[in-house]
Amino acid sequence: MKMISRNRRLRTNDSIRRLVRETSLTTNDLVLPMFVTEGDNKKEAISSMPGVFRQSLDLTVKTVKENYDLGIKAINLYMKVSENLKDNTGKEAWNPNGLMQNAIKAIKDAVPGIIIMPDVALDPYSIYGHDGIIKNGKIDNDSTVEALVKMGVSLAEAGADILAPSDMMDGRVLAMREGLEENGFTDVGILSYAAKYASAFYGPFRSALDSAPVDNQDIPADKKTYQMDFHNSREAIDEALKDVDEGADIIMIKPGMPYLDIVSKIRELITQPIAVYQVSGEYAMLKAAAQNGWLDNDKVLIESLTSFKRAGADMIFTYAAPEVAKLLNR
């Protein structure tokens, strides 16, 4: 055989493979989603998400400190809201003394260098489990956007660095940007969930926050009227480009691994950073397979997260961030 080109030459040993490696995963790429609940010294395991907990604020602060030392410099916050605080307006979401606001203040006081990206959506605060306000049996877009702007400004006042609206209402990025500018928060960024699909992979997350849509025949039984149809890709591009035009600083694609094609397509069209979310269902599947001995936990975590980077993502939201950081720090 006469071959001038042999690709295997650059795979001969680990040193040369590292030398020519195209994609690298580091702790700088990781964002840790965290669930906060009321109380003190409270730590509740989420059965469908091994290794993930709802924690009271005191334990959350401690965990943030520990993970910051591992190299995790950004967190994404979610609140488990008491049932008595839920209604159809979501008004608890902009309570200056609400759990989210207090969490942001406490974490910032304890770890000033951490980047806090609070979730901006009404579903944890809604008696219906929807991301928007219900009017006449439908999720009303415009009144929901007004509520989200109030929430966003309130979180900025508490010390949030980057707002992460996950609601998928039309026009909310522009409205939120204008609200932040009018209130003097010119340095607060917006990470827009531009392409958030109506996915079956969210199940464990919704059980963690008790935020699934309620079974009520008078309102939609799912979130398909505002989250994207998973059959579509051009629509995702349209959503991303519109959010960039409206002032989004970072674009999110969610879920992660089933939508790498979307990440790649949008990467070719925008210069803004792209975030990908390894959602609860993806995490749970990998953990279940690893616990049964079917997959090597450490290897599949690194491989799956690297695939997001290879597709074009700049940052990765993952519940596995602490254990991945430990692996990378070895």
Residues with a catalytic annotation lie at: 196, 254
Which structure tokens are listed for 116?
A: 């806090």
Cα 180 from Cα 64, distance rounded (Å): 26
Q: How far is CA 226 from CA 118, 150, 163, 182, 239, in A?
A: 20, 20, 19, 27, 12
| Neighbouring-strand partners of residue 37 | 56, 80
**CB neighbours of 307 closer than 8 A, spacing ≥ 6?**
257, 260
Rounded to whole angstroms, how far apart are CA atoms 227 and 225? Answer: 6
Q: Are 270 and 245 in contact (CB under 8 A)?
A: no
CA distance 154 to 148: 10
**At 52, which amino acid appears?**
V
Alpha helices in the chain (DSSP H): 14-19, 57-70, 99-110, 141-158, 172-182, 203-209, 234-245, 260-267, 280-291, 297-311, 321-329
Looking up tokens 């993806």 gives: 282
CA 137 centroid distance within chain: 28
